[in-house]
Amino acid sequence: MIKPMPENAKQFIKYLFIGALNFITDLSVLIFLVEVLKLNVSLAATLSYICGLVVHFNLNRYWNFKNFQRNYYQHLRTYLVATLIFYSFYIVIINIFLFAGFYYILAKVLASGILACLTFLFNKYITFSVGIRTFFKNLMIKNDKL
């Protein structure tokens, strides 16, 4: 008999699928804005990136993690702060790989894989769960009991 897939694995696969949809949305909107509406590439890239984030956030909130203990804006605030922080990590990780002599495309792929794992865990256990303050407060309580 085949065992059912663990919930964490299902969520991670959904998370990767949502990430792919994020990329497709970002790229499609970018092409439309530049080629059809003739917007400046920098402005178009910013707008398309935001569209991708909207897709990523909402699909993870409503389809993947389905946690509504906190309201929409609390989730969104945590998500946006995490996005900025993890983007910084992403740039650092890519540069570490580049410094180590990796080809830039491989550096991007490796950094993206690392970030996919880190952001999945952060979003699962913090963004779409109890929030950052409660997470760290609970962590401190557990450490006090040890």
pLDDT tens digits, one per residue of 32-48? 999 999 999 999 999 99
Q: Give the mean pLDDT of 8-36.
A: 95
Angle at the Cα of 98 (from 95 to 104), degrees rounded to 5? 105
Q: pLDDT per residue over 98-128, tens digit each?
A: 999 999 999 999 999 999 999 999 999 889 9
How far is 82 from 124, CA to CA, in rounded Å?
12
Q: Is the pLDDT of residue 4 over 70?
A: yes
> Global pTM?
0.83
Q: How does residue 21 score in pLDDT terms, banded at 50, 70 and 90?
A: very high
Q: Is the pLDDT of residue 129 over 70?
A: yes
| Contact call for residues 131 and 78 (beta carbons, < 8 A) | yes
